[in-house]
Each structure stands twice: as structure tokens, then as C-alpha cells.
Amino acid sequence: MHTQKRMNMQILIKFLLFTILSSFLFACNRDESSANALQIKGTLQQNIKGNVVLEKLNQNIYQPVKEVSLKEGKFEIEVTVPEPDFYRLNFLDGKHYIYLVLDNSPIEVVADIAQNPIQYKVTGSKDTEYFQAFNQFFNSYQKRVRQYNEAFLKAKTDTTAQKKISEEYQKYQKAEVKNLKAMIDTIVPSIVALYAINVLEIDQEFDYLEKIAKIYQQKLPKSKHTQAFLTAINRLKPLTVGQMAPDLQIPDSTGRLVGLSTLKGKIVLIDFWASWCKPCRANNPAVVGVYEKYKNKNFTIYGVSLDVKKEQWLKAIKDDQLNWAHVSDLRGWESEAAKIYEIDAIPQTFLIDAQGRIVAKNLTPEELEKKLQEITSL
């Protein structure tokens, strides 16, 4: 489990993290420079009065674009779409929503708001169809993950059962990743594909992501959404498995700078944590056990704390008996190390080999021990 700037539900079984990057929430399969007015015609199966608001996603917030009144359950909205974007129809002050990906093609919407959730059909927008298909896929995936998680929790101390559940999940996950990539390959260069791509684990699928990036460079080189995707790929590449770990120069408790590079030649676990992080503290006894077992086999830990209060940081080190190198600039989430390593949740770890190359990330203590056994036996 992780502690984040904004608290999120986490599951015990590791699974693909779905990260919505707002700059990717778009669809585009036409000339990106076109800016034509399109018409949205809608019909509700209920003859009711009220308003319909077309809203556009901007910086993760839906903002009103145009509002019209329902007339005998019908409405028409004309709007200019400079380039494909992510929208929704807001019915009756937020009681019902229909999500759309609009370019410059006219669309028709038929909806039954008596159903919960609302039932609807959109015609005229292939990108909206792609978006709906992906969401159906992802909702099904989430449901299955919850089932695996519930079974894992129910097994409690039955390690044999938990191992079997984990193996079944990994098999399921592998198959779903294959299915998702097939879906993405089918809809490229719709930028709905970039929305779907966020489900993929970057370290395991980085070569695939780079391949997709090249397609967008060729097909939609001027699109701001292509540029956002390329920027994200370039930003995250230095932190993927196989890359050299960025150096850090962070002060220890005395104020002396301790560089990660000074540990080159050793196998190093960079451990991002904090005294106030309950999952981190709960993890520490197992990490201590691994450290004690491998500290004489060229292994050490470089603990980077996101604390802001020195006394709490030092007390946690003492209480948890963390007898390895510790550094912190005491700037919390604004830590320079957190920025360099793109940390927005803790605990997070990076395992570095003796040459300074990232060989694994976010291992459980059990996985860490297995990886160390593998490395030290070479």
C-alpha cells in the first residue's frame, strides 16, 4: 500500500496503475488544424423539462461551454471544436452525464435517463465509440481485480492460497495487457489510444510506448496531444528499468551532502519513505530483515525521507532500527529527490546494481530478497 499526496485506495496484489493524464484525454483522427462548428442533436426517451450543458475537460475540470433547454425531451447544441477534445453532456444539473470525444463531425445522442446508470447511444463519432469500448474494457478489468483482491484478503495467512491467487492474477493480467495492446493498435492514431495507453506499466511496456510515440510523430506531428505524449515519454524514460539511476546529492542529519554516486560499486535500494507514512513504517521490519541478511553481500540502502520535521524523522530511524544511510532536505513532497524521481506516492523504491543501473522498482520485501539472491549469486 502507498501513501499519496491525495489518499487513494490501494490493493494488496500489485496491478497495473491507471493514471489519467489530462493532456491525453482526447481523440483525433482528422486534420488537427480544422476548426468547424458541429451540431449535437439529442433525444431523451422521457418528455421532461430542464437544461443540458455541454462541458469541456480542461486541466482535469469540466467547464461549461454551452447550455440549452430541453424541448419535449429534445435538444440541439452547435459548438466550434478547434481540435478533437474530451467533453460531456450534463443533464439536469449533474444528475446524469454522457461522455463524448468530439472532433468536427455532427453527432446524434439518444438517451434513457430513467435507467441508472443512464443508458444512451451516440452515433457519428468513431472516437466516442473507441472511448466507450475502452471504458467497458477497463471497468471489467477493475471488477476482476477487485475479485482477486477480495480472494487474496480472504485467504489471510494461507500463503499457499495467496500464492495461487497471485499466479492466477498474473496470468489474467498478462492476457488483458495483450488484449489492450490489440485494441490500441486498432484505434491508432485516435488519441483515445493515448488515454488507453495509461493503463500500461511503463517499465514493462516502454518499447511499445516508444513505438506508439513514433506513429503519432508521423501521423499527427503538430498535435499538442502528440507533444504532451512525447514529453511524458522523454520525462519518464530516465527512470525506467535498464537506465542509469539519476544521481542525488541530499543532506544527512548533520547537513553533510551524501551522494548516491558515492555508493557506486554496491547494490543499492533507494527507499523513498517518511516517518508519518504508515505503510512505510509497517514495511520497515521486513526491509530490515532483508538488509541484515544481505548487508555483507555488497548490498546497502539509501533512505530518502519526505519528512519536514527533523526530530520525527530521526525518531523513526531509531525506533525502526534502520541502520543504513539516511538523507532528507526536509521539504516533504517538494523534496528535490522526489522531483527528480517523479515521486508522488510512498513507499517507492528503486533497486540499483553495482554499475548504477536501475534493475527493479517498487519490490515488496519478499521480491527484494528474491532479486538480491538472483543478483548476488551471479
Asked if the structure places residue 258 within a domain, the reply is: yes
Same domain, 216 and 346: no
User: What's the pLDDT band for 199 if we cut at 50, 70, 90?
Assistant: confident
Parent domain of 168:
10-24+130-239
The confidence score (pLDDT) of residue 82 equals: 84
Say which CATH number the domain at 42 has. Answer: 2.60.40.10
168-197 per-position pLDDT tens digit: 998 999 999 999 999 999 999 998 998 899
| One domain for residues 91 and 50 | yes
pLDDT of residue 2: 52
Shared-domain flag, residues 42 and 156: no
81 with 151, same domain: the answer is no
Of 91, 124, 157, which marks where a domain is finished?
Answer: 124
245 contacts 263 by C-beta, under 8 angstroms: no
Report if residue 331 sits inside a domain.
yes
Domain containing residue 367: CATH number:
3.40.30.10
Mean pLDDT, rounded, for 293-314: 97
Mean pLDDT to the nearest integer, 87-107: 92
Instruction: Indicate if the pLDDT at residue 35 is higher than 60.
Output: no
Length of the chain: 378
Looking at 34-38, 101-105, 222-226, 260-264, which range is the least confident one? Answer: 34-38
Give the orientation angle of helix 202-219 with respect to helix 224-236, to 10 degrees: 150
5 is a domain residue? no
Residue 325 belongs to some domain of the structure = yes
In angstroms, the CA 202 to CA 18 distance is 11
**Least reliable range by pLDDT among 143-157, 274-288, 324-338:** 143-157
Nearest to 354 by CA among 267, 285, 294, 231: 267
In this structure, the answer to whether residues 149 and 57 fall within a common structural domain is no
Domain count, the chain: 3
pLDDT value at residue 159: 83
Q: What is the pLDDT of residue 21?
A: 38
Q: Give domain status of residue 163, yes or no.
A: yes
Task: Among 124, 141, 168, give the residue marking a domain's end.
Answer: 124
Q: What is the pLDDT of residue 236?
A: 87
Q: Please count the other Cβ atoms lying within 10 Å of the Cβ belonging to residue 223.
A: 21
From 239, 266, 282, give the residue that closes a domain. 239
pLDDT tens digits for range 221-268: 888 778 889 998 998 899 999 999 999 999 999 999 999 999 999 999
Q: Is there a single domain that holds both residue 226 and residue 259? A: no
- 370 neighbors 299 (Cβ within 8 angstroms): no
Range from 29-38, 150-159, 253-262, 294-303 carrying the lowest mean pLDDT: 29-38
Residues 176 and 320 in one domain: no
- Are residues 189 and 270 part of one domain? no
Is residue 323 situated within a structural domain?
yes
Is the pLDDT reported for residue 351 higher than 80? yes
Mean pLDDT for the stretch of residues 263-292 = 96
Q: Report the percentage of the chain scoring pLDDT > 90.
A: 71
Q: What's the chain's average pLDDT?
A: 88
pLDDT digits (tens, 9 = 90+) for 119-156: 999 999 999 999 999 999 999 999 999 999 899 889 88
Instruction: Please return the burial class of 362, using the count of CB atoms within 10 Å of its CB with bins 0-12, 13-18 and 19+.
Output: middle
Q: 31 or 376: which carries more pLDDT confidence?
A: 376
pLDDT of residue 17: 32
In a shared domain, residues 52 and 199: no
Q: Is residue 2 part of a domain?
A: no
Domain annotation covers residue 244: no
Does one domain contain both 372 and 298?
yes
Q: Are residues 102 and 15 in the same domain?
A: no
Residue where the block lists cell 481523440: 27
Residue 295 Cα to chain centre, angstroms: 33
Check whether residue 200 and residue 323 sit in a common domain: no
pLDDT at position 13: 32
pLDDT at 6 exceeding the cut of 80? no
Q: What is the pLDDT of residue 126?
A: 94
